[in-house]
Structure 1
């Protein structure tokens, strides 16, 4: 098709595909026909010609009438949900509601049915009287029409997530650390920060009055080199990277022979040698860790430990087995499942089942790694809460997954093909971004009753006091880019945000956790209000908090929103010391990511920074002539004057690091996610050293308002 006709526009809107939008500068933009057609194709809608458009419109209209029950209904507690049943004329039906606890209720009709002709036969639409008194949870509606019985998940979610007691009081504010765990290393680390380092950093922060440690996504990476460095491009969002295991903390180490212990020590010495390098060496570290872990895996387990392992595998079910099978397949066929023999590309195929049986020990090894991770994560969270922290670990949930990864293989049609997720142009990346990740298909998620999404959220919340959702706007709409097109040639696709947010809140409520949405970037005006009303915290970055609806000036601290995590920086900006010196502008210029000249960008950046620093001096938070360390402290002191419930301090700021962690819009052009923690002079800093620094303690006391 060559023209975006009214009927094609109508079809696009019926599937949640935007045909126009407003960019970051407020300019109205029309989406091309080529983009719309490609995105619809990724949603399984063929619109090669006008006849195809008409067929697809008719299908979209009749699809709900052709099924007895919808695929799923997600509602809010206290609201009577609309649950339709579609039955042929003259067919009697019975309906029951089975609550999560097993209690059953008979369901009658509410009001008069509607009737229309479907495929030449009259079909009645009857609304069920479900009531508005349902408890929170995952319930089931069962409808029997003649000899056919159909079921449907009915999910009842909280109207709003209630803050935990420590954050609920008037004026309550808690502070905590924010860290890239792989970069935060100790002398005992095997070349990369691990879960023991997370526990130690949290214990140090707890001693300074901290209530949480927000960590980068710990999602699983590839099981064989090369290991993807970005924690935001994982192979699976449900499972965890074994790179974060502290080998010596695995209980079965105690059963190693003297010779085996010596081998483990040799592997650890090899891995620790990488502490002296300029960049994180994930591949080499994993090869050393994997060799040691395989040795430990072969040791005997006590009856108690064996039962715990089997219970974990049973609880995680098919999803874990699929993940472990994918890992085992990677050992023989590489990490790109789309290059595997065709019979192995389907996780439900007989060939995959045969492989699983033939390589049962290898599959079990990867099951075991996830069990060890689960145990160590649980221990870290338990220890941090025992130190007095009110939240402990705050987990981070990435936007998507690697297109060649385990989730892309095992989740099948739940992820769209032929498109990737990204972001349109914005102030900090003016050519747009392509994150190379396949998005959820909103229609298939509903068909699956949101089970893959629920399982992912549950796993992230299991051993944490809260969850940061990266690009939370993606639960409302995502920027889809058809393959072969540039990032700016994409368009938005909408999701059922009531369902996506509702399920997130239900699982967080059950875990007793907070939810933080990273709501930066291009945001529709109503979205932040919606998230606030449902108890989801936002993310407020000091440099960006301005009166955008007014004169664009700085917000006074008392004007900041209350329900947010307030920070000075984020992983997509340099650490604060680097930002104050403008290293990000020079880097973006060097990488060709600026639309304006270097001089223009530097002048604008300096003007914006000086505006903030002048405001700090006016408030008495920064003395005239104060250097970068004093400016960093003053910026964090400003945060404590806001009503924000959470204040985050980057471990990079504790160290005075200046180097960019990640430069959006780049891949190999910059060593993203490979920069270890360093001091102001660029030399490495280990945790043991950082804990002794007066400057680190002084910044922590500033954030904790401990003068």
Structure 2
């Protein structure tokens, strides 16, 4: 097969596996992947397309696959709709089909009626297979039900997931907009933090924002777990798991058993804290490694103190509730602690089902308990934080952030290896801000494998993140529709999109959010087709509007009244410098210095200056800005512009509130820039502690502007 053009059969095979070889880029032009790239993406999906013969074989396999199954692996439908379910048996055999309802909605059995749909039988693997069609009733309650099929050649069951047609907004958001604070938690430190903002700081920040500023939500960076031992990956968007919490955020003093330590053990905790408490006022990069080494030592001491009978029972109940997922995560932590990074493990340890891992689980049982205990402690402190901020007056409370994926050598990549693709990583094609494309190094969900697992790993992750959340932000929500797969060894430019069953993924997200009583926001920035945003809006998923990206076709700022209502509207995002830095074109200077521009810097700088001037002119036309404004006045005017939109959620970055100029993250870089390590500071680089935040004149002035 020639490798210069897409062969017709290769194109058909790609379509069968939802690989999209062509896409329209940010530049408005159509881009087409080479067939070598398509072959590699198919390879990452477990499909051998290396020769014409292999392509023909793969096509035959994928066409027959549904007929080899008695039932589909999972059925996902919207409440109020009826769906036909194909049931495959030996041609002529009888089959009985029924539903068992979710115990959480009362359980029970429902009969399923066969409908008259004529489908010719098919010869598959030497057997003539017939298809019977059964219609699910249209009045099923929300939940995770099960369809069962029994007969001479049928003995099967599959989940039936009934999802909300639409996720409704809470009453407070139906009446008008609310505003909230956006913070990188690790950067917001108090005088009692251990060098990193923690869950106690989260509770205090949210309570004070509610009381002093009348804010209604607090959006924080992903709190997903990092490595169990140093060095820790700084990026909260490259976690080892998305299901469990980073124990780095635990406040040691708030663990109940800490109060009952002996004088000697208390001294050990205080000695561990002493060197890292001094880091709270350090303007340099946040030192997660030092903070976690100190906390881990202190938490070991607290863990060793006996728990009361009731406390032990609460811990046991948490472990049982979290089930196999927590056990596997805690075991992975214990293995990393003993054997180091996964890259150095023996082949048998890389297999979670191996005898070696089973033996290690017995040998490391005490450490598995320790890492499970850390999750229980973190869960308790998260629960308290959400309760405190809601009692403080926030309409939503804490808004958690869900990362796109996980570290390729992390706990999820190990435990969920059957539903993740290992031959490719997630990234993004070139765009105006990252003209070389991006490779985020994260293994993507394998679409077919995830469906065969009935989306349970996805559901379990959502349930844990939503346990103590008033809202959840889905980073790169386009990933529920398609992801840019970069085959191992390819540049970020040389990838292709792979489509996912968005009805299933969005539906399950809506179901779990409905059960948790949470609002869902999708970060739909970048190369997103308009229909995607429309679809999310129809399902009650809010979008994201960032002022600098909201432009008319001629480059002028989009008028506030033209913004979407169902959106979180902000001036900036964590992938841009704070507004003061953006106005000073620091995003251009930084990308030029790091070699990230493919266009001459003079041109990019001229475009940035023109963009700024168009925005300032628009602000003046609206009467929001005078002719010789200060930096603070411009920042506040920009936020008043956003506040004038119909968006139901309005977000203000804490970095903007204090005048910070440095970016938290520069996409397209790893160690070239101190990504995710910048402490909260003002425009002079002076650290702003939590105790001083609410007496900061600039922050109070911006809060007043949002409350007008």
Per the TM superposition, whether the score is higher than 0.5 is yes
Q: Is the 8 A contact 1:567 1:648 kept in 2?
A: yes
* Map 1:305-324 → 2, pairs under 5 A: 305-324=311-330
- The match for 1:411 among 409, 416, 421 is 416
- The runs of at least 4 aligned residues of structure 1 exceeding 4 Å deviation read none
Instruction: Say yes or no: does 1:61 pair with 2:63.
Output: yes
Partner of 2:305: 299
Instruction: Say yes or no: does 1:584 pair with 2:587.
Output: yes
User: In structure 1, what is the Cα distance between the partners aligned to 2:464 and 2:159?
Assistant: 20
Instruction: Say yes or no: does 1:604 pair with 2:607.
Output: yes
Q: Is the 8 A contact 1:415 1:441 kept in 2?
A: yes
Task: Report Cα offsets for 1:514-534 as digits up to 9, x if no partner.
Answer: 000000000112111101111
Deviation at 1:335, TM superposition (A): 2.2
Q: Is the 8 A contact 1:280 1:675 kept in 2?
A: yes
Partner of 1:247: 252
What is the aligned length?
700
List alignment gaps of at least 5 residues for structure 2: none
User: In structure 1, what is the Cα distance between the partners aligned to 2:2 and 2:693?
Assistant: 61
Q: Is the 8 A contact 2:420 2:446 kept in 1?
A: yes
User: In structure 2, what is the Cα distance between the partners aligned to 1:540 and 1:449?
Assistant: 33
Partner of 1:365: 370
Partner of 2:570: 567
Task: Report Cα offsets for 1:490-531 as digits up to 9, x if no partner.
Answer: 010000000010000000011111000000000112111101
CA RMSD, 1 decimal:
1.0
* Map 1:259-278 → 2, pairs under 5 A: 259-275=264-280, 276-278=282-284
Q: Is the 8 A contact 1:518 1:539 kept in 2?
A: yes
Q: Secondary structure at the match of 2:86?
A: strand
* Map 1:89-238 → 2, pairs under 5 A: 89-101=91-103, 102-114=107-119, 115-146=121-152, 148-169=154-175, 172-207=176-211, 208-238=213-243
Task: Report Cα offsets for 1:318-367 as digits up to 9, x if no partner.
Answer: 0000000000000111122x431111111122221211111111110000
Task: Report Cα offsets for 1:128-180 as digits up to 9, x if no partner.
Answer: 121111111100001012164211010000011100011012xx010000000
Deviation at 1:704, TM superposition (A): 2.0
Instruction: Say yes or no: does 1:626 pair with 2:629.
Output: yes
Partner of 1:388: 393
TM-score (normalizing by structure 1): 0.98
Q: Secondary structure at the match of 1:220?
A: coil
Instruction: Say yes or no: does 1:536 pair with 2:538.
Output: no
Deviation at 1:93, TM superposition (A): 1.0
Deviation at 1:277, TM superposition (A): 4.8
TM-score (normalizing by structure 2): 0.98
Q: Secondary structure at the match of 1:201?
A: helix
User: In structure 1, what is the Cα distance between the partners aligned to 2:91 and 2:433?
Assistant: 59
- The match for 1:663 among 638, 663, 666 is 666
Task: Report Cα offsets for 1:377-421 as digits up to 9, x if no partner.
Answer: 000000111011110000000000000000000001200011010
Q: Is the 8 A contact 1:174 1:704 kept in 2?
A: no
Deviation at 1:610, TM superposition (A): 1.1
User: In structure 2, what is the Cα distance between the partners aligned to 1:610 and 1:281?
Assistant: 38
Partner of 1:648: 651
User: In structure 1, what is the Cα distance between the partners aligned to 2:244 and 2:64?
Assistant: 39
User: In structure 1, what is the Cα distance between the partners aligned to 2:156 and 2:475?
Assistant: 36
User: In structure 2, what is the Cα distance between the partners aligned to 1:314 and 1:121?
Assistant: 44
Q: Secondary structure at the match of 1:660?
A: coil
- The match for 2:34 among 32, 35, 49 is 32
User: In structure 2, what is the Cα distance between the partners aligned to 1:62 and 1:217?
Assistant: 41
Deviation at 1:600, TM superposition (A): 1.2
Instruction: Say yes or no: does 1:517 pair with 2:522.
Output: yes
User: In structure 2, what is the Cα distance between the partners aligned to 1:311 and 1:335?
Assistant: 31
Deviation at 1:123, TM superposition (A): 1.4
Task: Report Cα offsets for 1:169-201 as digits up to 9, x if no partner.
Answer: 2xx010000000001111110000001111111
- The match for 1:691 among 688, 694, 697 is 694
